[in-house]
Amino acid sequence: MARPLDSPVLVIGLGRFGSALARELTELGREIMALEQDRNIVQHFADAFTTIVQADATDITALEQVGADQFETAVVGIGTSVENSVLTVANLVDLGITNIWAKAITRSHGEILERIGANHVIYPEQEAGERTAHLLSGTMRNFTEFSPDYALAIISVPPVLANRSVRELRLKERYGVTLVAYEADAEFQNISMDTKLPEGTNMLVAGPTDRVDDFAKRI
């Protein structure tokens, strides 16, 4: 059965990563329960989230008492202790939570999390560094990697591609990327084979990560 896109999310750990995630989910209208062991942090965010609970997520009984087992999706943002992170993920697996996201400090930490049952492992610092590198590499305005092999990028149209139809550009054949949309009047518009993009227009390009990266560097 497909998981509802608006199902509640359990966010564990309100450090920089966890609190930013919880705020973003809240702004998107998602129902969350934030879990944090540090009383001072709980008090700090008391007015930010509808449901925030002080509890030790390494204690499975504490998780059961707050109803963690009622969630299908949980995000573990603990980053200061590998041991606490691993114990928390193990507890979530034991509680039957089917969709577990977890922050990892190192690759070895991430591998452990995957082995014990985390469905998705996040490397915030590494991903931020990679994204910055892509943005600095050329004409990219934004870069989002949806998996290790697929990315979307907003790229400014260079003179070499300007005012030529999508059919004539043949981006798929020449570069292995797909032109998805372009920006006009502050909104992204659909693309047709006859669309011509003015120089400097933002275009949304999709494809394998290495192809998108290479495309941005070559144009």
Say whether pLDDT at 127 is over 70: no
* Assigned CATH for 132-218: 3.30.70.1450
Instruction: Enter the pTM of the model.
Output: 0.63
Q: Which of 11, 13, 54, 55 is nearest to 33 (CA)?
A: 11
State the CB neighbour count (10 A cutoff) for residue 116: 16
Instruction: Give 74's strand partners.
Output: 10, 100
* Token pair recorded at residue 172: 């798929």
Instruction: Give 140's strand partners.
Output: 155
> pLDDT tens for residues 56-109?
999 999 999 999 999 999 999 997 789 999 999 999 999 999 999 999 988 899
Percent of the chain, pLDDT > 70? 87
> pLDDT tens for residues 152-181?
888 888 888 999 999 999 999 999 999 989
Q: Which of 120-124, 136-140, 156-160, 171-175 has the lowest mean pLDDT?
A: 136-140
Q: Which of 85, 18, 17 is nearest to 9 (CA)?
A: 18
Q: Kindly report, as residue ranges, where domains of CATH 3.40.50.720 are found in the chain.
A: 9-124
* Assigned CATH for 9-124: 3.40.50.720
Tell me whether strands 73-76 and 99-103 are parallel, antiparallel or unpaired: parallel
Tell me whether strands 140-147 and 120-122 are parallel, antiparallel or unpaired: unpaired
Say whether pLDDT at 1 is over 50: no
Q: Which of 11-15, 25-29, 118-122 has the highest mean pLDDT?
A: 11-15
Q: Which of 50-54, 110-114, 134-138, 146-150 has the lowest mean pLDDT?
A: 134-138
Per-residue confidence (pLDDT) for residue 210, from 0 to 100: 80
Q: Kindly report, as residue ranges, where domains of CATH 3.30.70.1450 are found in the chain.
A: 132-218
Per-residue confidence (pLDDT) for residue 219, from 0 to 100: 73
Tokens 């008492």, residue? Answer: 65
Measure CA of the first residue to CA of the last residue in the chain; give whole Å. Answer: 44
Mean pLDDT of the chain: 86
Find the helix or strand (DSSP H, E) in which 188 lies: strand 187-190
